[in-house]
Chains A and B, each alone.
Chain A
Amino acid sequence: KNQVEQSPQSLIILEGKNCTLQCNYTVSPFSNLRWYKQDTGRGPVSLTIMTFSENTKSNGRYTATLDADTKQSSLHITASQLSDSASYICVVSANTGFQKLVFGTGTRLLVSP
């Protein structure tokens, strides 16, 4: 069964600190993996996309990694800011005819001053 699991469910960190969010998936056949950021009450916005051949990709203070062998991805946030407080959702695309998207339940991050 195609599944995406994220951990932790929620996280509180102090402003300026780093954190790492995890995503494990069983989606097959794998096409790509995206991390989305969702601010409260708004729609998710894509942060990064990882394809099978990519190990690391950065977008400012966000760095995503992908291990296609173990089917794991992580999102590392450096020098956190209050505006990083949001839910982070891992979405894996299945390489089927219609590129089905499988969503994780998200990690809720709170950056505290």
Chain B
Amino acid sequence: KAGVTQTPRYLIKTRGQQVTLSCSPISGHRSVSWYQQTPGQGLQFLFEYFSETQRNKGNFPGRFSGRQFSNSRSEMNVSTLELGDSALYLCASRLLQGGTEAFFGQGTRLTVV
């Protein structure tokens, strides 16, 4: 069974641009969450979607947004990119609301120059 797939794997953008990252969860998983990981900061929770609805949100500015489609695939968008947005963005899927094991994708490495 295929794992969590994130695209693209690597991305280079310039300040001020916007970017959209994609995440396809494990088949049958309906919960998708997004995390930002920077060196020394650990995993910072962005938001979680379940059944196309945002269920939980971390402390990130409004430039970070997301959505989930009816097939559970999710996208994350960052507008007006800043240098500090350079990070590894990880997506994780869970089987059900309340499922505790998060299965992570390989991440998208975003570099803002």
Contacts and interface: CB of A to CB of B under 8 A. Distances in A.
A43 B37 CA distance: 10
Given A41-B88, A43-B107, A98 B101 contact: no
Contacts of B50: 98
Contacts of A41: 88, 106-107, 109
A39 B9 CA distance: 15
B100 A98 contact: no
Nearest to B3: A43
Contacts, number: 57
A28 interface: no
Contacts of B104: 43-45
Interface in A73-113: 89, 91, 93, 97-101, 103-106
Interface string B55-92: 11000000000000000000000000000000010101
Interface of B: 4, 33, 35, 40-43, 45, 48, 50, 55-56, 88, 90, 92, 97-107, 109
Given A34-B100, A43-B90, 10 more contacts: A41-B107, A42-B107, A43-B4, A43-B104, A44-B104, A49-B101, A98-B97, A99-B99, A99-B100, A100-B56
